[in-house]
A and B are shown apart, each in its own frame.
Chain A
Amino acid sequence: MSSRNQLMDYIKQGLTTFFLSFITLGPLAAWQLQGYEVSGSILRAFRVSLALAVLRVIIMGINSRRQNNKREVKGLGLHSKVGSRSLSGIFQWENHNQGTKLLLSAALFVAVIAPMFGGNYALTVGITAFIYVLLGLGLNIVVGLAGLLDLGFVAFYAVGAYSYALGAEHLGIGFWGAIPFAAGLAAFLGCLLAFPVLRMHGDYLAIVTLGFGEIIRLILNNWLEFTGGPNGIKAPYPSLFGLEFTRSARIEDGTTFHEFLGIEYSSDYRYMFIYATLLLVVACTIFAVSKLKNMSIGRAWEALREDEIACRSLGINHVTVKLSAFAMGASIAGVAGVFFAAYQGFINPTSFSFFESALILAIVVLGGLGSIPGVIMAAIVLTVLPELLRQFAEYRILIFGISMVVMMIWKPRGMMANVRGRLKVKPIRQSAKT
């Protein structure tokens, strides 16, 4: 592509992004509530859209540089080692997502330093966003990769949250114990759900999973003696090596975090702790999911999404493949649930309504089915944006609807479409070279 063409392309893409964001986000950004009056400022809408357009062009720039690099490497007849992942050492991924990697590391950097400036409120927003990132990544395995439409995903989230709260009450499981416990329990329930739906596709699958989500919620709501029903249940605050994040120790002879360090008590420490742990878990999950995607189980998930009959004729056991997708997705949601309970300190069934499932599905679809960076971005946008625009909370669903429609028309594959890495076998000639 000549540089002139490239420039035109940049301008075209920049303008498209500008207009798209102006239409979708403009009304949100322009109106501002002051006292009891709403004031409109087209300038604010303009600025937001411009910023997004510039961001789009920067991303394009990064991408095109990546492609140029690849071309050069090819020209030398060598294999680039950059970002290559091996699948039993024979395969090599052709596209090394350097742009995505750059974006991810930038996002990580922002995520690490952000709490230093934002204070308590920013931390809580960050925690919510990360919880949805986890949920999005989990559902992305089920819906995006394996192609199984799950409308009851919130059930596993609820199981995670309740297994922490109830585990602490009845089994004495602490925060750290609850993470593997919730993951395991949710995975088990995922398998339980997967068995009856093994032979279902599309609409039928969606209906059954929707029912499953409601069943879990209704059980939580009606089993008063065990779950506390609509009154909810208290979830203990997390602890670090036995140090509690409360003002005074709840157990006898216990030490609290601030006493141990000899600093003033602040409720921020608890949020900081949850934020930091969550960040770690999110990073691990992103790493694990992107690895899984390229491993043979990930291929099998995608193959199953494409054509189940062909899969079975090739000796792929569709039962284990589907079960593993449901179990993996569910366990991630279970972990997200633990963090939700630990952060809220109190949970009740209203947090796990169908709307949550729909929101998580929206994250996956808007982000781009199967695309990890897309899902992360959508999760952050869909949780942070409503916080930034608290004054317009009642328009939130409206905005969701409009942006969904607009996205499906102009970007049907999501904000960042899943770019499938192309697996390529290294030529025999080169491996034999001395």
Chain B
Amino acid sequence: MALLEFRNVCASYGPIAALNDVSIVVETGEIVTLVGANGAGKSTLLMTIFGAPPCSGGKIYFEGQDISTLQTHEVSRLGIAQVPEGRRVFQSMTVEENLYMGTTPIGDRYLKEDLEKVYSLFPRLRDRRLQRSGTMSGGEQQMLAIGRALMMRPKLLLLDEPSLGLAPLIVNQIFSTIKDISKTGTTVFLVEQNANQALKIAHRGYVLVNGRIQLSGTGKELLGNADVRKAYLGE
């Protein structure tokens, strides 16, 4: 049984169709990436997991359970954590308070333990634990957003454009951390425009074009695919 499965999902914003008959499977322990151009429907696909917008056709299964009719907060309580696009940390709260907010679905039983884990993953956050998160750099905020999502001990981590607006050096660091997170047993579903980096770390990938899945394959296959290289890697 797949951990997450999109089965013929359609979604639309009013009359405008955003997703058309999309089927994706994410197996436990994998890093799966979804690449595509601006407006291809990548973020919409992630948001349908949380029911905003709801699927107008098809179903989404998590561990075999149909989650397409659940409320947003109910979905996250199943063990799906999202790192939203544009980071969205709580600006006037400190790093530690942000991380605390991440424990909402599971309570603070593992708080100390998990804080240590996040701090060892991102030592920068430990240095800044009492700093207001709004005063940190974009890269640090991205680390915080990922750390916050990890605090709920998710089975599945969804990342929406983690490289958005970050310096190349930081992007490398973030991607290598995503790999580390995957090694600890958390399944990762990554949505990226930075196809090159994303496909390098992914086990498998899907290419979304105008709301349809155009191509799928292992990360290596897609990286080697001439069409992908032409369309997304500028060759």
| Residues of B participating in the A interface, judged by any CB pair closer than 8 Å | 50, 71-73, 76-77, 81-82, 84, 88-94, 96-97, 100-102, 104-105, 108, 111-112, 115-116, 129-130, 148-149, 152
Contacts and interface: CB of A to CB of B under 8 A. Distances in A.
Interface of A: 88, 90-91, 94, 296, 299-300, 302-303, 306-307, 309-318, 420, 422-425, 428
A314 B76 contact: yes
Given A302-B90, A303-B101, A314-B152, 15 more contacts: A88-B108, A90-B111, A90-B112, A303-B90, A303-B93, A306-B91, A309-B84, A309-B88, A313-B84, A314-B102, A314-B104, A314-B148, A315-B104, A315-B105, A425-B112
A299 B72 contact: no
Nearest to A423: B97
A310 B50 contact: no
Contacts of B111: 90, 425
B94 to A, nearest CB: 5
A312 B88 contact: no
A312 B92 contact: no
Contacts of B148: 314
A312 B112 contact: no
A88 B152 CA distance: 17
Contact of A315 (B88, B91, B92, B152): B152
Given A88-B108, A90-B111, A315-B73, A310 B100 contact: no
Contact of A310 (B77, B89, B115, B129): B89
A300 B97 CA distance: 11
Contacts of B84: 309-310, 313
A425 B151 CA distance: 14
Contacts of A90: 108, 111-112
A300 B116 CA distance: 23
A424 B97 CA distance: 8
Contacts of B93: 302-303, 306, 420
Nearest to B99: A425
Contact of B101 (A94, A299, A309): A299
Smallest CB-CB A-B distances: 4 pairs: A315-B76, A315-B105, A310-B88, A306-B90
Contact of B50 (A88, A91, A312, A423): A312
A55 to B, nearest CB: 28
A352 B81 CA distance: 46
22 contacts: A91-B100, A296-B104, A299-B100, A303-B90, A307-B90, A310-B90, A313-B84, A313-B88, A314-B81, A314-B101, A314-B102, A314-B104, A314-B148, A314-B152, A315-B104, A315-B105, A422-B94, A422-B96, A422-B130, A424-B130, A425-B100, A425-B115
Nearest to A312: B72
A262 B48 CA distance: 74
A313 B97 contact: no
Contacts of B102: 314
Nearest to A311: B101
A316 B71 CA distance: 11
Nearest to B112: A428
B219 to A, nearest CB: 26
Nearest to B129: A424
Contacts of A318: 72-73
Contact of A313 (B72, B116, B129): B72
Nearest to B72: A312
B72 A425 contact: no
Nearest to B116: A428
A299 to B, nearest CB: 7
B100 A317 contact: no
Contacts of A306: 90-93
Contacts of A94: 130
Contacts of A309: 84, 88
A308 to B, nearest CB: 10
Interface centre among A296, A313, A420 (most CB of B within 10 A): A313
A312 B100 contact: no
